[in-house]
Structure 1
Amino acid sequence: MYPLILLVIGCLLNTIKADNHLNNMTFPDTFMFGCATAAYQIEGGWNANGKGESIWDRFTHQVPSPIKNNDTGDVACDSYHKYKEDVALLVDLGVTHYRFSISWSRILPTGLINEINLDGVDYYRALIHELKENNIEPFVTLFHYDTPQGIEDLGGWRNSFIETWFSDYARLCFELFGDDVKYWMTFNEAKQTCVLGYGTGVYAPGVKSPGVAEYMCIHNVLKAHAAAWHVYNDEFRATQKGQVGIVIDSSWFQPENESLQADIDASETLLQFTFGIFATPLYMGDYPDIVKENVERRSLAQGYLRSRLPEFTEEEKIKLKGTVDLLGVNTYTSSMVRPLDVPDPEGKGLNSDCEVYQYQPDDWEKTDDVWMRVTPWGSGELVKWIARTYGNPPMIITENGRSDTGTLDDDARITFLMEYISSIKNAMDDNNLDIRGYTVWSLLDNFEWLFGYSSKFGLYQVDFDSPDRTRTPKKSVEYYKKLIRTRCIVDSCVN
């Protein structure tokens, strides 16, 4: 690396440290504080009472297992049976909302509308009732990675008919639960489903088709989201008066040298390939120009007759545009970026088509997860970029947190929460951002996908060796309770 670049990075890090003060302004009374989980990661009961198989059930039952320690979500935190205990934890925390997901295959065992599992319906009705009885808003995600295996057997997110199958499922959920649910998110982190599930194949369903099935998945997810939004808008909004959004995840991508336009452009390009490929069609009606241009140029050079990225019809563009009432943002970490010196001419998929090199400097604070460094400043930069790019839309932080190895004295998590929430609050105060809430990932230690139970994000420790899956509060519980009660990140705030 050139000495000039090292100097620039050093200056950047010094600036970050200098600005790393904690915000001492009180959050408004209307600001929401909550916790998040997801069905496959906590429920267990994988085949209980008529539930159908999901792609993650199938994926984790493979031999050899693709999951660390051969872990599965078969029992997980056993929240299927212990939901009342989980709600009691939420009550003790004092949260305003609880973000959880519905298992599509627990409601519709095959994924199709003709067979409804009433035991699954009763489970979610009971959970929602318990939350409402305790003045906690249910914040419901319709899809968090776990496609019904029956749908995947028909092609899953590669099949354009999934737009109809998903909208049927969404309509059923609105009918069953919508009188008590005011916040709906259609998809959580579709990038992970599509890039890891249909591109690299390291996530369920394990399809390795970078830049082809990967983009088919993205295309169909976006159309399915829009279809579900229109179902709600046309059939339920007038009576249920709720909101429908989507959750998009992204790191912040810091230009390696802020005085080089090429590095600034690399940051913008990767943000568009990571966040914009999902958000821009839903706000503006089509994919970002840089995404379309790059994929088409590279596709033609690789011998394709047309872009590997599907095109929206004019009718679809109209249907997509304006279909986000509330934007969910999952934010965890950051990377430094610059243009690739020599892009791989044969590479396909989001990570190759962007032609951007990203890395995390060794002196950034590490966590127990290899992909994640502690960069609170990046979350503030990300939400400011979203506001600039999409006209300051209503946002909620739907996930943010850090893992540990299981300690109850999780001071590192407390510091993490303070610094990240402060960065977000600074961005709100300085730029008048419309951010309406913050949600910790996660309420409980849970099944963290390829890492199994080795990666622990919970405010509450779960003893996975105990049949009771005993929950024990970590030190961070008391900090988060105080933050929610006082609406103040530090010990004393000003109004």
Structure 2
Amino acid sequence: MAGKFTLLAVWTLALVNAECKHGSKFPSDFLLGASTAAYQIEGGWNADGKGQSMWDWYLHQQPDLVSDHTNGDVAADSYHLYKQDVALLKEMGAKSYRFSLSWTRILPNGTADYINPYGIIYYNNLINELLANDIVPFVTIYHWDLPIGFSNQGGWLTDEIVDKYADYARVVFAAFGDRVKHWITVNEPNIHCTFAYGYGLQPPLVKSPATGYYDCGRNLLLAHAKAYHIYNKEFRVLQRGKIGITVDHDWPMAASDSIDDIDATEDYQAFHLGQYLDPIFRGDYPHRMVDRVAAASLRQGYNSSRLRSFTEEQKDFIKGTTDFVGINHYSSNYVYRNASVVGMYEVPSFDDDAGYATFTNPSWPESASPSMAAYAPGFYDLLLYIKEAYGNPELYITENGFSETLSEDLYDDLKVDYLRTYLDALLDAKAAGSNVQGYFFWSLLDTFEWTFGYEIRFGLHQVDIDDPARPRTPRKSALVYKEIIRSGVIDYNYNPDPYLRTKVKINCTYNNICNK
């Protein structure tokens, strides 16, 4: 194993020290951009008639949920400073911007019986500002900010939430679909269900690892499919857009050549990527996942599997419901299964059902986020796996990034290395036939990172959250990314100094024009 680690470390270093090793360029129509999400940057939590999401409510009631006791009440204040955000994208030369809609900014009560005109105005203004600057909007409909009323009624554990989400999706298609041509139904259902309804560490703090995790994922898939069919039947002919889903996936590698470790790695694929893409592309959950949960449930005295199966009608309803796949990818893992895994997890739980454990290589550059270490070859392998496993779908990397602490200030060199090596791996995968059409770095700005608050920073641009004006300052990574977008190539020798370069300075108020 030590020998394998040595080879992997050498491979990583070789990528970091490469100098445009393959000489390929990004095609002129390849979408290079950045991502954010509504609760993480908008602020304006109760402005202009916005209702409360479950994140608003829980963080007001239990501020200790966040390690630094911050919340998204103001965040980067993009509700008022959206023109600054667009100006930053324009300065970088970004071709696209992925952002999410706040459900309760548009539907304050969650339901479609009252549509908040100010929420519609805000997103119309943002979309129009992007288009005026030749930036393609990629819009995520749901990025975890469920209306508090629905959360109190059971949220994603109730079958009724599917129709409530569908009503919301119909409203946003009608309001923005004449200009938005790329829709993402749901962001990271696996992460959302794991932490919100499995471990109970994020709102709504439901700890239900035996059944809640699975019921949440099931309903999110059905909600995704219902939104797809609504778009297909009611909007596609006139609006001529595309609709997909974003799933998260770290790349798994067997820790050894043992049958147990190889088998565990295949189970990792099934319980992560397969849980959401197999129903869409193949019509049902992966057999490996179904069999493991059923066997564990019977051992534990259940009369049936804790993983509710889809009806034949539901299988047909879900299958084929995507025009593209969004992938959020940050790191890779070694996967193993041996005697030490027995008793590692709560019983019953989805972790125990899967029955494997993971670790990262200690030689990989570590980010400030737990278990997120840089290993670009895993990104390459993931893209080719999706190509082979799912028929090479149209693919967008909707999140990829590296977190550091505020102490790195503007010299985020580890993030720069990460950006370059991962884009290099993407170009190699594209040359090998992957149908990847775009890449969005996470994130454009320092965002409120959920229960980590602002202790970790992913932003290409630093946001001073202690200053009421929320000034944005480009980090070195923003300048490097700008050059990659401009030239279409990855130049490892380009070494800008963010303190010596002219900074992007923008003066803007909500209703005025921003001037650089």
Q: Do both proteins adopt the same fold according to a TM-score greater than 0.5, normalized to the shorter chain?
A: yes
**Residue correspondence of structure 1 range 145-224 to structure 2 within 5 A:** 145-224=144-223
**Residue correspondence of structure 1 range 313-392 to structure 2 within 5 A:** 313-341=311-339, 342-344=341-343, 347-392=347-392
In structure 2, C-alpha distance between the alignment counterparts of 1:15 and 1:462, rounded to whole Å = 34
Corresponding residue number in structure 2 for 1:439:
440
**Residue correspondence of structure 1 range 61-460 to structure 2 within 5 A:** 61-63=60-62, 65-257=64-256, 259-341=257-339, 342-344=341-343, 347-406=347-406, 407-429=409-431, 431-460=432-461
In structure 2, C-alpha distance between the alignment counterparts of 1:434 and 1:338, rounded to whole Å = 30
In structure 2, C-alpha distance between the alignment counterparts of 1:489 and 1:307, rounded to whole Å = 50
* Partner secondary structure for residue 397 of structure 1: strand
In structure 2, C-alpha distance between the alignment counterparts of 1:440 and 1:267, rounded to whole Å = 27
Q: CA deviation at 1:25?
A: 0.4
CA contact (8 A) 1:87 1:131 kept: yes
CA contact (8 A) 1:23 1:489 kept: no
Residue deviations 1:189-221 (CA, integer Å, cap 9, x gap): 111211110000011111000021111100000
Could you tell which deviates more after superposition, 144-153 or 333-342? Answer: 333-342
Q: CA deviation at 1:396?
A: 0.6
In structure 2, C-alpha distance between the alignment counterparts of 1:476 and 1:335, rounded to whole Å = 25
* Partner secondary structure for residue 157 of structure 1: helix
CA contact (8 A) 1:302 1:346 kept: no
Could you tell which deviates more after superposition, 178-187 or 272-281? Answer: 272-281
CA contact (8 A) 2:36 2:442 kept: yes
Corresponding residue number in structure 1 for 2:491:
490
Q: CA deviation at 1:226?
A: 0.2
Change (3 A) 1:195 1:235: same
CA contact (8 A) 1:243 1:326 kept: yes
Q: CA deviation at 1:491?
A: 6.4
Letter matched to residue 481 of structure 1: K
* Partner secondary structure for residue 68 of structure 2: helix
Ranges in structure 1 where 5+ consecutive residues have no aligned partner = none
In structure 2, C-alpha distance between the alignment counterparts of 1:340 and 1:439, rounded to whole Å = 37
Letter matched to residue 212 of structure 1: T
Q: CA deviation at 1:37?
A: 0.3
In structure 2, C-alpha distance between the alignment counterparts of 1:343 and 1:179, rounded to whole Å = 54
Residue deviations 1:322-376 (CA, integer Å, cap 9, x gap): 1110100011011111114253386233322111111113222212222211111
In structure 1, C-alpha distance between the alignment counterparts of 2:71 and 2:41, rounded to whole Å = 11
Change (3 A) 1:346 1:468: closer
CA contact (8 A) 1:340 1:355 kept: no
CA contact (8 A) 2:369 2:403 kept: yes
How many correspondences in the alignment?
487
Residue deviations 1:70-93 (CA, integer Å, cap 9, x gap): 110000000000001111111111
Letter matched to residue 368 of structure 1: A
* Partner secondary structure for residue 253 of structure 1: strand
Q: What is the TM-score of this pair, normalised by structure 2? A: 0.92
* Partner secondary structure for residue 462 of structure 2: strand
In structure 1, C-alpha distance between the alignment counterparts of 2:214 and 2:155, rounded to whole Å = 13
Corresponding residue number in structure 2 for 1:464:
465
Corresponding residue number in structure 1 for 2:503:
none
Q: CA deviation at 1:131?
A: 0.8
CA contact (8 A) 1:182 1:240 kept: yes
Q: CA deviation at 1:286?
A: 0.5
Could you tell which deviates more after superposition, 271-280 or 177-186? Answer: 271-280
CA contact (8 A) 2:222 2:318 kept: yes
Q: CA deviation at 1:282?
A: 0.9
Letter matched to residue 237 of structure 1: R
CA contact (8 A) 1:331 1:397 kept: yes
In structure 1, C-alpha distance between the alignment counterparts of 2:324 and 2:475, rounded to whole Å = 31
Q: CA deviation at 1:268?
A: 1.6
Query: Does 2:7 correspond to 1:7?
Result: no
CA contact (8 A) 1:109 1:115 kept: yes
In structure 1, C-alpha distance between the alignment counterparts of 2:386 and 2:29, rounded to whole Å = 22
Letter matched to residue 445 of structure 2: L
Q: CA deviation at 1:382?
A: 1.2
CA contact (8 A) 1:24 1:490 kept: no
CA contact (8 A) 2:300 2:348 kept: no
In structure 2, C-alpha distance between the alignment counterparts of 1:227 and 1:99, rounded to whole Å = 22
In structure 1, C-alpha distance between the alignment counterparts of 2:338 and 2:86, rounded to whole Å = 48
Corresponding residue number in structure 2 for 1:479:
480
Q: CA deviation at 1:12?
A: 4.2
Q: CA deviation at 1:62?
A: 2.6
In structure 1, C-alpha distance between the alignment counterparts of 2:480 and 2:8, rounded to whole Å = 30
* Partner secondary structure for residue 180 of structure 1: coil
CA contact (8 A) 1:459 1:473 kept: yes
Residue deviations 1:74-128 (CA, integer Å, cap 9, x gap): 0000000000111111111111111000001111112111121111111111111
Letter matched to residue 398 of structure 1: T
* Partner secondary structure for residue 68 of structure 1: coil
In structure 2, C-alpha distance between the alignment counterparts of 1:346 and 1:206, rounded to whole Å = 17
In structure 2, C-alpha distance between the alignment counterparts of 1:445 and 1:63, rounded to whole Å = 23
In structure 2, C-alpha distance between the alignment counterparts of 1:452 and 1:413, rounded to whole Å = 19
In structure 2, C-alpha distance between the alignment counterparts of 1:361 and 1:383, rounded to whole Å = 21
